[in-house]
Structure 1
């Protein structure tokens, strides 16, 4: 996982821009809707729904919004049908990009995603063209300031809980798991009193693509354009950008 901080810097920028809370809540509601539709409306019996609900609560999404999305999915309220799709392609400079969407009109969404790539010197590819460059992992972040714990002691607890790896920096402990063991690791650490800044299953690049300032600017514009699309849920990429360049551009 070396170099993951590069990914996290982009994620922090993304999170800062996600202050458009109405848009964020809408995307989370869709994720909850699909999880409940596929696996039932009880979070205790549906791990995907439980993860989606936890993610929504961590972003302070109101409980009534969460309940409404579940009720729509289970038939208690009228709702539309969403289809989950993933688009793969290359951004400027050949950076790998994966775009996860939930849409009720795949033709519209495909055209909009393709336009975003083309506008920013990228291009969509075939399914599988970049996904092999990413690993699917569970990801848990514990803030150091929120817990009085020594790194070695937490490492032992993390190993006993079944996690795969832990990285540390001045602000956080970052824990990685296999997707299948994510819920169990999270549950065991919660039982030990830990809370999480981030708790999700995500895609992490195996290697990074370094870009210069102009290509980085175009790549960030591509990410911004995709994030502004209501159908886009998540964007994964392997951009490596110089910290000074990122600060200048953001």
Structure 2
């Protein structure tokens, strides 16, 4: 799995319905984070983009409670995103991002969620070299400029690649890839060309995805569900084949 959803892709070999639900939930969490980052407020009354994300989540009956918990934590400046590594069956790796005050509390919460599973929990991720970190930006197409040379724009903004995709709502979006260290810089350059950046984030793509057996997949599904149900859960990336 390489992140979450339409803007951030969860890739578990689950049953189709469970996989879609998990992906959508991660999507809304990511969109809410970006909305707060771009709008500067955790109050949907003061942040129209955040209000739009919450309304979309309500329509999908997914992610609303997770978003509410996230917003409450984001009001507390002492909280920060912390990555915890979980190693599970079939050499599976879960890079779990949680909101916590420090590394110890983050690891403690993850270990508590995993107490019934045969996994190893580490607060110092040692498997990042097995993933490719990728900056991703989604741009809303401009109907008044349908013939934009996207490849030229990508080169000018120092993006690595650009493609057109269709999101979960059937809308066309433009996806730019870039060095994650330059994510904010590329966003600024795109906006400088009067393009609307709808969402941007960092994603971890597995370099060698693993394929669990059916029995291992059941254990992985249970692990995934418990991690996603943690109060401090933000997002997750795994090396599990879709």
TM-score when normalising by structure 1: 0.61
Matched, 1:134 2:131: yes
Matched, 1:205 2:201: no
Q: Secondary structure at the match of 1:186?
A: helix
Select the residue among 97, 100, 118 that pairs with 1:100.
97
Q: Deviations over 1:49-91 (max 9, x none)?
A: 559869x8457468xx999988864xxxxxxx33543211213
Partner of 1:46: none
Select the residue among 14, 18, 22 that pairs with 1:14.
22
Q: Which runs of 5+ in 2 are unaligned?
A: 12-18, 55-67, 167-171
Q: Deviations over 1:3-37 (max 9, x none)?
A: x9998253864342369x8xx59x959xx7xxxxx
> Cα gap change, 1:217/1:191 in structure 2, threshold over 3 Å: closer, same or farther?
farther
Select the residue among 119, 143, 153 that pairs with 2:116.
119
Structure 1 CA distance for aligned equivalents of residues 118 and 71 of structure 2: 41
The answer as to whether partners of 1:91 and 1:117 remain within 8 angstroms in 2 is no
Report deviation, 1:140: 1.1
How big is the alpha-carbon RMSD for the aligned residues of Structure 1 and Structure 2?
4.5
Partner of 1:234: 235
Q: Secondary structure at the match of 1:208?
A: coil
- Size of the aligned set, in residue pairs, is 207
Partner of 1:158: 154
The answer as to whether partners of 1:137 and 1:179 remain within 8 angstroms in 2 is yes
Q: Which moved more, 1:224-233 or 1:138-147?
A: 138-147
Matched, 1:86 2:86: no
Higher helix share: 1
Structure 2 CA distance for aligned equivalents of residues 156 and 146 of structure 1: 18
The answer as to whether partners of 2:227 and 2:233 remain within 8 angstroms in 1 is yes
The answer as to whether partners of 2:88 and 2:220 remain within 8 angstroms in 1 is yes
TM-score when normalising by structure 2: 0.63
The answer as to whether partners of 1:28 and 1:52 remain within 8 angstroms in 2 is no
Report deviation, 1:207: 2.5
Q: Deviations over 1:82-120 (max 9, x none)?
A: 354321121332111111222247555423312434534
The answer as to whether partners of 2:93 and 2:238 remain within 8 angstroms in 1 is yes
